[in-house]
Amino acid sequence: MNNQQETTPVLAVQHLKKVFGKNEVLKDIDEAVENGQVICLIGPSGAGKSTFLRCLNMLDQPTSGAVIFEGDDLTKLDEKHLDQMREQMGMVFQSFNLFPHKTVLENIKLAPMKVKGVAESAATADAHRLLQQVGLDDKADAFPASLSGGQQQRAAIARALAMNPKVMLFDEPTSALDPEMVGEVLKVMQDLAKAGMTMVVVTHEMGFARTVADKVWFMADGYIQESATPTDFFDHPQTERAKDFLAKIL
Ligand code: ADP
Ligand code: MG
């Protein structure tokens, strides 16, 4: 509508710092995610990518700095308000974390009913819609253990979407999968991106980063060393650190 709205980020960090004991994992990070943007966060193992993602929804408490989500500094909120904000951020982990004693459908319905008070009929209808979206509606009544890893991860994505989040955070969603299942999960994520979802994705899938990301953030040594379009980053990395990283993985 107006300029102000277009440029207000959904999610931003300011001078974000996270220290574990003497280990300065995140040193001073300033970044912003605009509405509808897909960010791929890449970097070497141990760089702090998971810690960064966990600071975004305050699963890890930042040592200092601000995490601004929809205009609120999450580091200043009490637990009750923080929980309300967290409901608007979907998170998908490497391990799928589905409830093993519940069917796929029940896994998806649970939070909307319990946390948001959605009526069962509406939650069920929405869960079926989401299962169709991730190509799993025929597995609605199956238990997680009977599904393949790729199917479980797609169910986990559907479960996160059931809360109607404003942003989705993915932490290496395909790293635990057998290679033949990686594509089906990336396809669901790509469709989600095309539909306009705002996403921050930690990934080692460089093909996905190249084709789906609006921006690549390269993290190393406690900083986002580069923030660039995929073409700029992959074809013209600026820092020695990034050149070195890309030389090892490509
Ligand atoms: P990445 O996801 O990029 O591989 P992580 O964010 O998992 O990196 O870890 C970054 C650093 O932070 C590592 O040195 C790790 O040992 C440390 N770290 C992460 N979580 C904790 C924790 N809960 N307690 C202590 N150190 C941690
Ligand atoms: Mg990690």
Task: Measure CA 167 to chain center.
Answer: 7
> Which atom of ligand 1 is found nearest the CA of 219?
3
Report the chain's mean pLDDT, rounded to a whole number. 96
Please, is 245 exposed, middle or buried when counting C-beta atoms within 10 Å of its C-beta (0-12, 13-18, 19+)? buried
How far, in Å, is the centroid of ligand 2 from the Cα of 203? 9
Q: Quick check: CB of 203 below 6 Å from ligand 1?
A: no
Quote the strand ranges of 22-112, DSSP E.
23-33, 38-42, 64-69, 72-73, 89-92
Which two structure tokens, joined as six digits, stand for 81?
């308000």
Tell me the C-alpha to C-alpha distance, in Å, between residue 216 and each of 73, 146, 157, 200.
Answer: 24, 36, 22, 10
Query: How confident is the model over 120-125, as a mean pLDDT?
Result: 98
Q: 119: CA distance to ligand 2 center in Å? A: 36
pLDDT given at position 35: 96
Going from the Cα of 18 to the center of ligand 1, the distance in angstroms, rounded, reads 10
54 close to ligand 1 (CB < 6 Angstrom): no
**Model confidence at 6, in pLDDT bands (50, 70, 90)?**
low
Ligand 1, residue 171: give the atom nearest the CA: 2
From the CA of 175, how far away is ligand 1's center (Å)?
Answer: 17
Q: From the alpha carbon of 172, which atom of ligand 1 is closest?
A: 2
Tell me how far the alpha carbon of residue 22 lies from the centroid of ligand 2, in angstroms: 19
pLDDT higher than 90, residue 4: no
Decide: residue 60, CB within 10 A, 0-12 exposed, 13-18 middle, 19+ buried.
Answer: middle
ipTM, 2 dp: 0.98
Identity at 10, one-letter amino acid code: V
> Among 16, 17, 18, 25, which residue has the most ligand 1 atoms within 8 Å of its CB, making it the best to mutate?
25
Question: Rounded CA gap, 66 and 47, in Å?
Answer: 20
pTM of the complete model: 0.96
The predicted structure's pLDDT at residue 1: 45
Q: Are 166 and 10 in contact (CB under 8 A)?
A: yes
Find the Cα–Cα–Cα–Cα dihedral 100, 104, 107, 109, rounded to 10°: -160
Residue 45: pLDDT above 70?
yes
Q: Are 45 and 52 in contact (CB under 8 A)?
A: no
Burial label for 24, CB within 10 Å (0-12, 13-18, 19+), is middle
Q: Assess whether the C-beta atom of 51 lies below 6 angstroms from ligand 1.
A: yes
Beta strands in 80-143 (DSSP E): 89-92
Q: What average pLDDT score do residues 87-108 get?
A: 96
Are 234 and 247 a contacting pair, CB within 8 Å?
A: no
How far apart are the CA of 88 and the centre of ligand 1, in A?
A: 25
Rounded to a whole number of angstroms, the CA Rg of the chain reads 18
Report the run of H or E that residue 183 belongs to, with start and end. Answer: helix 179-194
Ligand 1 pocket test target in 19, 23, 203 with most atoms within 8 Å of CB? 23
Say yes or no: CB of residue 22 within 6 Å of ligand 1: no
pLDDT tens profile 186-208 = 999 999 999 999 999 999 999 99
Percent of the chain with pLDDT over 90: 95
Whose CA is closest to 158, among 187, 135, 186, 181?
135
Question: Model confidence at 8, in pLDDT bands (50, 70, 90)?
Answer: confident
pLDDT digits (tens, 9 = 90+) for 206-237: 999 999 999 999 999 999 999 999 999 999 99
